[in-house]
A = this chain, B = another copy of it.
Amino acid sequence: MTKRIDEWSVGELARKAGVSVRTLHHYDEIGLLRPRRTGQAGYRVYGRPEALRLREIMFYRAMGMGLDQIAGLVDAPGKDRRARLAEQAVRLKAERSRIDDMLAAIVEAVETDRESIMTIDDLYKAFEPAKQAEYEAWLVENYGPDMADHIATSKAQLEKVPEEMAAKMAELRDIEEALVAIFLRGEGDVGPVIERHRAWVAAMWGRPCSHAAHAGLADMYLSHPDFVARFEMLAPRFSQWFPAAIKANAAAQGVG
């Protein structure tokens, strides 16, 4: 009994095709892919046609088709294949929009209880003069005095009139809310919101905030526990995502 080439056992075919043995057993059970049962030991033996059929099955499975649909497609070659593909596309789109709805529900829920967790008052506390001095010291320590030239702190701007300050805090809350929404949703264009943040920073500083300065700020967000804590409170992992988004934006604008 020389073992012919072009013949494989379940395990061999499974490895070759990247599926599990159980999967092949299952396909055999439901009649989707029948092996040639030639060995008297009852061992499944697959030949080249079976291997090709398996490839085809996996091709359709990659499009999320049900095994019954696949059976119809591989058994009736070509027959309304396009229609089936289009139907599947419709199903997938429906499924995806259901997922989008769920994501929207999460975003809404997070925003809702964020209103009670992170209030405007908390934002004020984050911008106390003592804190600002600390941040400036941190920046000087980590970047040297020359960087402190590029990255200003908002210390000098804290004497803004209360109404103006309130408006700034409200805008920051809006910006962060928009960022959290995009972060959780996992889609949407961050660029404009990041730019809005950069403009906000510039307004706070009272002077322009370059992309490089913005990126430097992002480093502080990443490293300083105050910022990490504040951002992490908005959403888990947001404290890493936000600085990364700032840096990506800076890089996209051509700044290393």
Contacts and interface: CB of A to CB of B under 8 A. Distances in A.
A226 interface: no
Interface string A193-237: 000000000000000000000000000000000000000010111
B63 A106 contact: yes
A109 B186 CA distance: 27
A64 B99 CA distance: 8
A194 B82 CA distance: 23
Contacts of A76: none
- Dominant secondary structure at the A interface: helix
Interface residues of A, number: 34
Contacts of A100: 96
Q: How many copies does the complex hold?
A: 2
Interface string A98-125: 0111110111011001000000000000
B92 A110 contact: no
Contacts of A109: 59, 63, 85
27 contacts: A59-B109, A62-B101, A62-B102, A62-B105, A63-B105, A63-B106, A63-B109, A81-B113, A82-B113, A82-B235, A85-B109, A85-B184, A86-B110, A86-B236, A88-B102, A89-B103, A89-B106, A89-B184, A92-B99, A92-B103, A92-B186, A93-B103, A93-B185, A93-B186, A95-B99, A96-B100, A96-B186
